[in-house]
Amino acid sequence: MKGNEFHTMSDVELTKKLQDLKSELFNLRFRHASGQLENPVSIRNCKRDIARVNTELRARQKA
C-alpha cells in the first residue's frame, strides 16, 4: 500500500491493519524458512507497510 492510503484510515483501522501485517510477516517468514516462499520481496514489502502504519500512528500521537 502507498503511504497516502494510510492517511485516510482511522486509528482503529490502522491498529487492525498493523495486527494483520504482523501476522502476515510471521507467515511469510515461516514459509521462507521452509522453502515455500516464491517471492522473497514480499517480506520487504510487508516490513515497509508495517513501518508506514507505525509512522502514521506515531504522527497522530504527536499531533
* 36-59 residue pLDDT tens: 999 999 999 999 999 999 999 999
Q: Given pLDDT bands bounded at 50, 70 and 90, which one contains residue 4?
A: confident
Going along the chain from its start, the domains and CATH numbers come out as 3-62 (1.10.287.310)
- Residue 8 reports pLDDT greater than 80: yes
- Report how far apart the first and last C-alpha atoms of the chain are (Å, whole number): 23
DSSP state letters, the chain: --HHHHHTS-HHHHHHHHHHHHHHHHHHHHHHHTT--S-THHHHHHHHHHHHHHHHHHHHHH-
For residue 29, which of 53, 46, 14 has the smallest C-alpha distance? Answer: 46
pTM exceeds 0.85:
yes
Phi then psi for residue 36, to 5 deg, are -100, -5
